[in-house]
């Protein structure tokens, strides 16, 4: 995924848009993700977004358009509330959405796993030590768990490496899968 964000969610609104390639063997399945978000203060934010829109090669994809609203909170350490730079050790999000959050795949339906998810999704992450987090996520249809570590190249370029397991329940999917990701952000 390659994305860019503009705006200032602290002063008014932030907007992010990302382009996703769903198959690394070719460039035939491409989608667009967008999110509008606002910082509410005290470590909390709200976002409204859409995923997997404007997909090319839709007949080759098992991904449908998804829309959501989500509330996120980083629980601030009371000792840091009045400091300029605040850090949080515990983060959580809770949201509601349709598409991938509410509908199971045709393969899941055929396997007798039902047609619908919960519509509700969420995650929790806890920083065990120095930018090393444990993460648990309910996607609306299944449970994922991971660990993530952020490294800094110079003082301003973060690189996050995440490794985990997806589809931990038999609620959807075809078994537990290994997932991994590397990401970075550049801001001004």
pLDDT number for residue 27: 77
Domain segments of the chain as ranges: 1-63, 76-188
The string of pLDDT tens digits covering residues 29-49 is 888 999 999 999 989 999 999
Grade residue 61 by pLDDT with cuts at 50, 70 and 90.
low
Q: Residue 1 and residue 17: Cα distance in Å, rounded?
A: 10
Q: Residue 67 and residue 32: Cα distance in Å, rounded?
A: 12
Q: Global pTM?
A: 0.85
Residue 83 neighbours by CB under 8 Å, 6+ apart: none
Say whether 70 sits in a helix, a strand or coil.
strand
Q: State what percent of residues in the chain have pLDDT above 70.
A: 90
Q: Residue 161 and residue 25: Cα distance in Å, rounded?
A: 22
Q: Which of 59-63, 90-94, 154-158 has the highest mean pLDDT?
A: 90-94
Grade residue 97 by pLDDT with cuts at 50, 70 and 90.
very high
Q: Residue 91 and residue 186: Cα distance in Å, rounded?
A: 22
pLDDT over 70 at 78, yes or no: no
For residues 34 and 17, the answer to whether their CB atoms sit within 8 Å is yes
Q: Residue 11 and residue 34: Cα distance in Å, rounded?
A: 20
**Nearest alpha-carbon partner for 6 in 188, 177, 136:** 188
Mean of per-residue pLDDT scores for the chain: 88
Average pLDDT for 119-141: 95
pLDDT number for residue 148: 97
* E-assigned strand segments in 8-142: 14-21, 30-41, 44-53, 66-76, 88-98, 120-129, 132-138
For residues 172 and 113, the answer to whether their CB atoms sit within 8 Å is yes
The string of pLDDT tens digits covering residues 162-187 is 999 999 999 898 899 999 999 988 76
**Nearest alpha-carbon partner for 3 in 39, 45, 33:** 33
């Amino acid at each position: 995924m390659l994305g860019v964000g503009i705006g200032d969610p602290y002063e008014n609104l932030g907007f992010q848009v990302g382009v996703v390639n769903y198959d690394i063997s070719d460039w035939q399945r491409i989608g667009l993700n967008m999110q509008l978000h606002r910082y509410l203060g005290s470590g909390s934010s709200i976002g409204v977004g859409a995923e997997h829109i404007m997909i090319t090669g839709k007949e080759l994809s098992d991904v449908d358009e998804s829309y959501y609203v989500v509330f996120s909170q980083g629980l601030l350490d009371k000792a840091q509330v009045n400091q300029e730079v605040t850090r949080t050790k515990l983060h959580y999000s809770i949201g509601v959405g349709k598409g991938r959050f509410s509908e199971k795949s045709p393969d899941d339906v055929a396997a007798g796993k039902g047609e619908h998810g919960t519509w509700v999704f969420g995650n929790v992450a806890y920083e065990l030590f120095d930018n090393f987090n444990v993460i648990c996520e309910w996607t609306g249809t299944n449970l994922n768990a991971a660990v993530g570590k952020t490294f800094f190249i110079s003082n301003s370029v973060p690189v996050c490496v995440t490794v985990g397991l997806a589809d931990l329940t038999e609620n959807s999917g075809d078994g537990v899968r290994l997932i991994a990701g590397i990401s970075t952000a550049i801001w001004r």
